[in-house]
Structure 1
Amino acid sequence: MSAHSSESEDGSSCDSADVSYLPCCPAAKLTIVVGDTHFSEEKMLLVQSCDYFQALYRSGMKECRQQEIHLKSLRAQGFLIALAVLRGEMPNLDGDDIVEAIECAAFLQVAPLIKHLINLIDSDNCLLMYHTAATFGLMDLYHAAALFIRNMYVDLELEVKKSLPTELISYVESLRPSVFVAVGAHVTCGGDKTIHAASRTVCYLDETGNSWKVLTDLPLEASTSMAGVTVLDNKLYIVGGVHGLQKQVVESCFCYSVENNSWSRISSPAQLRYNLSLVGVDGRLYAIGGEYERTVMSSVETYNVKTGRWGFAAHLPRPAAGAACTKTMSRIFVCLWRPMETTEIYEYVSGKDEWQLVTTLIRKQSYGHCMVGHRDNLYIMRNGPSDDFLRCLMDCYNLRTGQWSSLPGHFANSKGSLFTAVVRGDSVLTLNRSMTLEYAVDDKTWKPRRQMKGFPRSGSVWTFLLQLPEALVLQ
């Protein structure tokens, strides 16, 4: 993914920013001296990715004309990590690396490095990330690490109380944890009198009381049947879908804000669609594939939340409807099937606006039906062989090593639980009518951790996470 793309006024992506203020050829090399280490890097890469260098070259100071710049407040390892991220790498960082990377990200304001650090937050490093981000004033990382800690507070509270200052503990405890939310996946528009009103509610799991509570009613014109449903920046979006026996496409699209406890309409994609996959990353929704008038499509559209506009992105390699899709490490992945028991995983590379084949999984009489991203792992839930279709098997693909592994055992899927899986911290929540089951996740295993009340609705469901304001929870 490009580390230095920018957006035009209409929200479309462009390959390069305005660098007319550079005093010489933007492609020229610049030597950066950090301590005793010299780095040679393209001026363009540094200017487009670091606020520090942007400000320097806009300032007109004498350093603008120098071929060598000394950074006296940094350590070499932190700058080396920043350069690796800017070149598109995903370096794994230990404790010392994290501190130096945060120091560098704060001093130079390197947005791609900040994003990479946020993507690396886990149970082992979240306290270090949080405390160091607070020290250097890296607020996006500070908040992301605090929310991770809040979501894992049952596991981390003792360590938090022992190792963090009072003001940092207070901030964590002031946050609302992410709650598990569900809505039926076969709810059509409210004009259909055969639909019971109770089915048109979005509900959340009160884990303390082990009960499901109503969060909000769906708008009358909204349908979750064969719709695209996702959460982006703590807002719920519903795009497309069908209503009626003839599967008429729903033209209205909706956004639910938990802060305002209200629904609003958003514009519809240029190509109306149902049975699509919808995912949200970095301020954009991606409506992937789907159907229209019973024709399967390969087209993809992206919605810019800030501008409220849709635009077309690169088509899928082939038409797909209801494709398994996920995001992890701020990257989008989709499963596409081929005959002869083949599941291919593609990544959308936004900087190049193209879909790239990542890996292929071949399993006898089996296809990937659900995909979950956790850290740098993709977990593919698939049906068992044809003589045991209700058995759910799982394979793991590691993005860093490029290796597949099969998780031991199998997972009962008679009521759809593992085909609706949501990551929260270092755990995964799954759901069916009988139970909500939380798994503790590490690289090679999913271990059942606790069981809670199932969702009292028939049929499959959409599941996601939201942070609810206290006023909504207390209703």
Structure 2
Amino acid sequence: MEAGSCSGSEGEAEGAGAGTPVRVRVEGSVFAVDRALLVQGCDYFGALFRSGMRECRQEEIWLQGVRAGGFLTALSVLRGERPLLSAQQLVDAVECAAFLQVAPLARHLADLVTSDTCLLLCQAAAVFGLRELYLSAALFIRDMYGDLAEEARALPDPVRRDVEALTPSSYVAVGTHSPSMEMLQDSFRTLCYLDEEAREWRHLTDLPTHASTSMAGVAVLANRLYIVGGVRGVSKQVVESCFCYDAWEDTWSVIPSPRQPRYNFTLVGHEGRLFAIGGEFERTLMSSVETYDVAAGAWSFASNAPWPVADAACAKAMSRIFLCFWRPMETTDIYEYVPSTDHWRLITSLIRPQSYGHCMVAHRDNLYVMRNGPSDDFLRCLMDCYNLSTGQWTAMPGHYVNSKGALFTAVVRGDSAFTVNRMLTLEYSILGDRWKPRREMKGFPRSGSVTTFLLRLPRASRNQATPPPDAPGPSPR
């Protein structure tokens, strides 16, 4: 591009025409776009409009190197939409995200990684150099490698080797424990992982002496397990000690406690932060929300939840946070918390009879809400599905046996859901409108309630060769 008529400081160049439309010509199409929208979400245009070059004041810009369909997808994502895309649209979008450095589009494409799209997105990201998308797709393939091995053979050899070098997610569980004493360390205070080949549970690590998993907040963020708060004893005395387990290093560390003591709350990890939502203190329900910035190591308050709530079911779908509230009884309200704007919004409500207990997990753009059946049959678990794209509820066919709480600890990995109780670990295949039992394994060898999650464990934990814990992961080729 030629240096042109833009004069003055960089700030003036950026401000000139900000908020005014510019025509962008791509192939045979012309798009009228707000300059501010392009500057905010696209590094290419941000640099262009600050460059002092002639194009920063032109009313029409010719754009080469991308397809019109990919640019149209980028605009829709920058405007806050979350479009579902065909195979060709995915490739065009990857090309556009890479060439124009559209970070929001790259994040949206990572949300579209499924068993149907992972191979295509992995190859496209490798070709165009979108590292984060490449890693997201490669990790997904690794988690489902048993099901995708045949299709994965079509991947280029360097890409396939990258995938095979990654560590898959492991199903991990911990029972409910109060803090211990140094001299009376309980041998049952352990984290265990599921050895899927042997179909049994194995010891991973011991809980720190002062850690509580009784009514504590438990969440995974960036392959680190966080245990926040909890209680000790029948008096429900709040435990202030909070801990972080680094799965790669196999080490525990202490983190600061929330500013508001709380227990029986929901903890969720998202984009470098933990969110502690609601809970109880001195037997009083709370609506307050705190967020922990992992990098800064500090807690701060966020917008209150819509209602006081304890132990709310939570799930993340398409990089969005959803909480399931019961208010009034037998009404399920699902709210979304939007961290970027720090506000809550009601997504949907469902009226359905229930007795007690519920759980929510996400798969693709579906939220699955599980609850006990009528009070006269509390061991029977019913399930409903809410689709975020269509806004429709569907009652799942059949009943799911809730033998001592198995389905209330569900975790989704790939196209599978894992549930566990003391007698049985059960893997379901998620088929959209139904869950089909797939594998049965040994139950968790501890009594009481169980919390489950996924961690990528160093292979030495499973008696295999160990990759360096700081390995950079796959690089696009």
- The normalised TM-score by structure 2 is 0.92
SS in 2 for 1:197: coil
SS in 1 for 2:209: coil
SS in 1 for 2:307: coil
Amino acid at match of 1:68: E
What are the equivalent positions in structure 2 for 1:384-423 lying under 5 Å apart?
Answer: 384-423=373-412
- Corresponding residue for 2:171? 180
1:288 aligns with 2:281: no
List alignment gaps of at least 5 residues for structure 2. 1-9, 465-477
1:137 aligns with 2:117: no
Q: 1:281 to 1:21 in 2, by over 3 A?
A: farther
Give the Cα separation in 1 of the matches to 2:43 and 2:257. Answer: 35
Amino acid at match of 2:415: D
Amino acid at match of 2:399: H
**Out of 306, 322, 346, which is 2:311 matched to?**
322
**Out of 452, 464, 470, which is 1:463 matched to?**
452
Q: 1:365 to 1:422 in 2, by over 3 A?
A: closer
**Partners of 1:335 and 1:368 within 8 A in 2:** no
SS in 1 for 2:133: helix
In the TM superposition, residue 294 of structure 1 has moved relative to its aligned partner by: 1.0
Give the Cα separation in 1 of the matches to 2:416 and 2:20. Answer: 47
1:232 aligns with 2:224: no
**Partners of 1:368 and 1:380 within 8 A in 2:** no
Give the Cα separation in 2 of the matches to 1:408 and 1:228. Answer: 32
SS in 1 for 2:45: helix
Give the Cα separation in 2 of the matches to 1:82 and 1:303. Answer: 31
Give the Cα separation in 2 of the matches to 1:415 and 1:319. Answer: 27
Give the Cα separation in 1 of the matches to 2:382 and 2:275. Answer: 28
In the TM superposition, residue 198 of structure 1 has moved relative to its aligned partner by: 2.3
Q: Deviations over 1:95-118 (max 9, x none)?
A: 101100100111111111111111
Q: Deviations over 1:78-97 (max 9, x none)?
A: 01111111111111111101
SS in 2 for 1:22: helix
What are the equivalent positions in structure 2 for 1:68-217 lying under 5 Å apart?
Answer: 68-161=60-153, 163-184=154-175, 186-191=176-181, 197-217=186-206
In the TM superposition, residue 428 of structure 1 has moved relative to its aligned partner by: 0.8
**Partners of 2:354 and 2:371 within 8 A in 1:** no
State the aligned residue count: 455
Give the Cα separation in 2 of the matches to 1:452 and 1:367. Answer: 27
Give the Cα separation in 2 of the matches to 1:461 and 1:145. Answer: 30
Amino acid at match of 2:275: Y
**Partners of 1:23 and 1:65 within 8 A in 2:** no
- Corresponding residue for 2:19? 27
SS in 2 for 1:273: coil
Give the Cα separation in 2 of the matches to 1:20 and 1:93. Answer: 38
1:310 aligns with 2:299: yes
Identity of aligned residues (%): 62
Give the Cα separation in 2 of the matches to 1:430 and 1:60. Answer: 58
Q: Deviations over 1:181-201 (max 9, x none)?
A: 0001x20111297x7622211
In the TM superposition, residue 469 of structure 1 has moved relative to its aligned partner by: 1.4
**Partners of 1:23 and 1:64 within 8 A in 2:** no
- What do you get for the CA RMSD once the two structures are aligned? 1.6
**Partners of 1:239 and 1:252 within 8 A in 2:** yes
- Corresponding residue for 1:454? 443
In the TM superposition, residue 368 of structure 1 has moved relative to its aligned partner by: 6.5
**Partners of 1:237 and 1:256 within 8 A in 2:** yes
SS in 2 for 1:59: coil
In the TM superposition, residue 275 of structure 1 has moved relative to its aligned partner by: 0.2
Amino acid at match of 1:217: D
1:42 aligns with 2:34: yes
Q: Deviations over 1:303-359 (max 9, x none)?
A: 111211212111111100111111111111111112341111100122331111111
1:338 aligns with 2:327: yes
**Partners of 1:365 and 1:386 within 8 A in 2:** yes
Give the Cα separation in 2 of the matches to 1:20 and 1:182. Answer: 56
List alignment gaps of at least 5 residues for structure 1. 1-17
> Which is further off, 243-252 or 272-281?
243-252
**Partners of 2:371 and 2:382 within 8 A in 1:** yes
Q: 1:19 to 1:271 in 2, by over 3 A?
A: farther
**Partners of 2:13 and 2:51 within 8 A in 1:** no
SS in 2 for 1:182: strand
Give the Cα separation in 2 of the matches to 1:321 and 1:340. Answer: 14
- Corresponding residue for 1:6? none
Give the Cα separation in 2 of the matches to 1:390 and 1:260. Answer: 40
Q: 1:472 to 1:19 in 2, by over 3 A?
A: farther
Give the Cα separation in 2 of the matches to 1:61 and 1:93. Answer: 35
Q: 1:216 to 1:19 in 2, by over 3 A?
A: farther
- The normalised TM-score by structure 1 is 0.93
